[in-house]
A and B are shown apart, each in its own frame.
Chain A
């Protein structure tokens, strides 16, 4: 059972404090802040104990979301709840920042009152909450040049307005009653996180994809929506289909509001989205990627002169030619005591630097088109280099973003709203794959 909930700014200011059971004093806020700021690297921040009080916290939007308890509750419950609280705050206030929480404290107190009673979590569903919540959000929209660029242009459908504007999704779900300007929009995102380990000889050792379909809904009334996925999608390890193009996931989980009666035959998810953000489906795929891993690395590490290591990296992007990887960064651990580095890169938009503190060099490529191959040569000076030091080079880790692309091949075929839905509504579907952990051993 939750004893207290409080929200602190990163500087330790009290933004929200609510005591549910009257068993702990308000000092615990300061105790928590002292503890969390004094954490050293090897301590686990997840659960902290102070005498008989236990703190569980998450950090979101630069704020600490903290629950304290004196009993033996489930940390999963509390972490899930705090994440949900942060998400709801974002839904209701439009964005998540110190300012928005400060401006909407009355609303957040009201939310908390309905969400938790005597430390028991009651509900976190916007559908239920909207019946009770009276306070209106005070929006703190950041001034953005992007908004200006969207104005005018003589009504022409610019390329810009066809892409879902990135700030469009960050506004409060409950627009004030007077103003009907809130657009009827719904965003469906397919987000995948890719983890890959490639062995020293280029062998794929481990690969998995964690994916989710997330919707953010601004429709005023909730009505049924049908999301059609690839018809050939198969689930489970045993169901091997005859042809190779099948899209497969190992396991999937659904939001409890999702109706699955058409899922088995037509791969259609039926859901009445409540306002705000929610994850409709999560899925994962281990080991058998349907496509080649997006990057292959051909490294060579040599000892040059006495105190110098030559690292030659050839990196190939195996995406289809139309796709592009963005913000690719490659981190290569270098021997201890590396002092300086010189590099030869193939184009001026790339950068590379040595980070002696992390014992690593960082190579960054802003855009990397599919099918391309880039190479770079790094000369690292290491005083007192021994042959054993060469073993310290590697493994290489990469991070990147693949826009408009899913590695599992999962697609949304259609997105249909029930005909009863009045007024025009805009539907957006977005795909993105992030690297979660992409490691290449040398």
Chain B
């Protein structure tokens, strides 16, 4: 037995012995054959490491073929035999000096692949020589070897200065060398995100673009991928790069094409839309994408996944190419489903007739999955293109007539969605639906049908009979159907109370007494109590008008979409997940972002799907499925969460300002604010800890001089309340969108510390752990000041409140709207994305104290033509001094805020328009407060 076992895994002793003899033979041919045999055994998984010394002995030969074979063996076993591998070092070093460039390159290539620490030190000198070799073949091999060495011993590479040599190779005369240097540098740079290794500037970019035209197709891919990481300075540079990249679109290698598409999609972002070139570029992008669909199925699928992203970002590129997405009967199913998805995304009023005719054909095909998806697609068309709804419904009715079981069920599910989008419009079809009641055997279809019956109970004469028939097998139904049935019967009862009393009793008792499903029981009890205590209220609750479902179904969330666009042509674009979700370690986890477009006026009218600001969202529209965007839009309708100082101008000044000083230093240290106010820097660190010392300037009222003096005369008077107004928590992330994790939250400023108050609720069935939070770059550099402290695992149905202190030291990027914050929350299940908006007042520091001279100087600094004047109507001074105090206080506060703004503006991020939009963007309160803000902000505009 033992012998057999060995025979399977290792070469048998006999074999080894025989090979050994052959390896030591004098004849070259015999040696070669022997090494080949050894490698063949190695490939099938036999252990031939025992032959290591004998194989290494064959290394010193002038026969290149034999040498290559020996090197192949070495690479495989060096790791398990490090001591033996040292024996080979001398030959390597010697080979690196060989007159034949093939041997030099072979030696340096193989040495890099021997991942043994001891060897690396011997490698440095030969590598240094090879990097400067006269033969480009050796140089290009050496360039890759630097990356290999870096992978084994990063420190060594840095110490030996190989990185600089590698950078020099970017200017090499041979394009292959350039391409490999770029590839090696890109990989090394990924593990050092801040090293600025690939120092991309217009000069190097120019070199790369020149090399692009000359190197092999694979080298072109490295270079294009590297270009995609560059941020052009302005739209002109962006255009010139685009112009030089566009010829790649007609390359025969689809990988080159996609890398070029990625560069163009990214740089296009910077081009003004009214530019002629922008339109030309859009036109040029379509043909290569269409051509990809003629490739083999694997490539087609990958291409379609990418096109799916591109279509969501820029539907205009492919809007005339609908036909190419029509499925062919011999497409594999995964290609068919992707095509269907893209067809819906491209559907518009112009082409809807064509699309529907196609979909109707698909619905009669053989493949069940495909047919179902086609029927769903018809429903999505109806919801997306309002003009087509009627035609869609009649198409669906035709399909129901076929009586093909799964077609009917699928049709009923989508008709339910259509009812929710267009209530009271297509109810005439209900009769047809009811005819098919008996054939429904899938829970989703049954639930949909029950919903329809309940919703339109008053128009269906025998609604009670229908629902009663479902009730018979209540306990055998799935939860989905049970819940739906319960609700439907309650609806029916509220509409026709007289004849259905018995029925409702029956269902309530079934749900509450005979069921052990807590969801069902709870819902049952709620209805029961509602009905028994206040039937009128019950009616209002149960029969309330439902929000409409949105037309843009399952779009990818915009932040994710942006990131994925930066990763076009990579695995991320196939999975539709950011690389951080599937690549381990540091590599490739940096989030990439699209550049901001030049010309700010434009972004407002950007017609891009999924890019619309909250103001464009029609109220009371919720998405029908998996649509985070819709949720976010909804949530934006929450009451404006702006600090209202007039609410309680209570006298908490002392404590308040103490902390304010602390915050100042926090802000100052990180963002170098101008006009520092005497706060003790030490307080910055101790979050929320009450500082021991009073800032010196506090309480010392400056001497009064003129009207302006009043502004400063508030010393210990009125203070911003410590825990100023905090908006109630709103739901930011719905449980159904986040595998059961619901997050609601708000922002607060307490004691000078910005805090994000979160409630995490676990609505899933399993325990959640390992929470972490991360912000995307945002306008004011908000970032978590520490990790999110969720120490205990969150068990099902448990809620935990977390207060996350925020700092303003994160990376800055202008958001639209300005106060938008994109957040990623991770737990043991997945990563979820949502975005929320914080009140701008969050950023205002409490201590507005400013030295008078400084204030006056600042005031004068502002050009006169920036001053705007208008009347303030809403201030009622007769209500006592209080308002004056408030007004003064606010002014004072804002002189401080001026600095915050100025700081932002020094970064040249905001022009006057965006401050304007900031004012308009529903950030500020109505009334006097609002008016004052406007004055001050306008005064402080910087052109």
Contacts and interface: CB of A to CB of B under 8 A. Distances in A.
Contact of B253 (A80, A113, A193, A197): A80
Interface string B112-152: 11010000000000000000000000001100110110010
A251 B291 CA distance: 9
Interface in A350-392: 358-360, 386, 388, 391-392
A439 B569 contact: no
Interface residues of A, number: 86
A392 B404 CA distance: 9
Given A22-B79, A54-B571, A72-B579, A392 B43 contact: no
A388 B401 contact: yes
B865 interface: no
Nearest to A211: B294
A395 B333 contact: no
Nearest to A49: B582
B251 A439 contact: no
A109 interface: yes
Interface stretch (B321-329, B528-536, B849-857): B321-329
B620 interface: no
Nearest to B217: A256
Interface string A67-82: 0011111111101110
Contacts of A391: 364, 402
A286 interface: yes
A1 interface: yes
A333 B363 CA distance: 13
B64 interface: yes
Nearest to A336: B404
Contact of B323 (A1, A124, A286): A286
A343 interface: no
Chain B binding surface SS class = helix
Contacts of A234: none
A123 interface: yes
B399 to A, nearest CB: 9
A390 to B, nearest CB: 10
A255 B65 CA distance: 32
A47 interface: yes
A256 B252 contact: yes
A125 interface: yes
A253 to B, nearest CB: 5
Interface string A106-132: 100110010001101111110010011
Residue of A52, A58, A391 contacting most chain B CB atoms (<10 Å): A391
A360 B302 contact: no
Interface stretch (B254-262, B424-432, B756-764): B254-262
A77 B221 contact: yes
Contacts of A16: 43
Interface in B425-461: none
A394 B218 contact: no
B859 interface: no
A35 interface: no
Given A52-B584, A106-B36, A113-B72, A80 B254 contact: yes
Contacts of A253: 250-252, 291
A433 interface: no
A76 B291 contact: no
Interface in B567-598: 567, 569-572, 574-575, 579, 582-584, 587-588
B259 A74 contact: yes
Nearest to A52: B584
B333 A42 contact: yes
A436 interface: yes
A105 B43 contact: yes
Nearest to B190: A71
B45 interface: yes
Contacts of A282: 252, 291, 294
B301 interface: yes
Contact of A47 (B218, B328, B571): B571
B151 A388 contact: no
A133 to B, nearest CB: 9
A110 to B, nearest CB: 6
Given A80-B253, A106-B36, A106-B69, A397 B291 contact: no
A134 B65 contact: yes
B569 A251 contact: no
B361 A395 contact: yes
A440 to B, nearest CB: 10
Interface in A404-442: 436-437, 439, 441
Nearest to A359: B366
A75 B302 contact: yes
B15 interface: no
A206 interface: yes
B66 to A, nearest CB: 9
B366 A46 contact: no
Nearest to B578: A72
A95 interface: no
Interface of B: 36, 39-40, 43-45, 64-65, 68-69, 72, 76, 79, 102, 109, 112-113, 115, 140-141, 144-145, 147-148, 151, 176, 180, 183-184, 187, 216-218, 221-222, 225, 250-255, 257-259, 287, 290-291, 294, 296, 298-299, 301-303, 323-324, 326, 328-331, 333-334, 361, 364-366, 369, 401-404, 567, 569-572, 574-575, 579, 582-584, 587-588
| Closest 10 pairs between A and B when the two form their complex, measured CB to CB | A437-B328, A76-B255, A134-B65, A77-B255, A210-B294, A121-B218, A72-B579, A44-B334, A52-B584, A388-B402
Given A72-B579, A113-B109, A122-B176, 12 more contacts: A52-B584, A80-B253, A105-B40, A113-B72, A120-B184, A121-B218, A206-B323, A208-B324, A282-B294, A287-B323, A395-B329, A395-B361
8 contacts: A16-B43, A46-B574, A47-B575, A54-B571, A72-B582, A113-B68, A118-B144, A358-B366
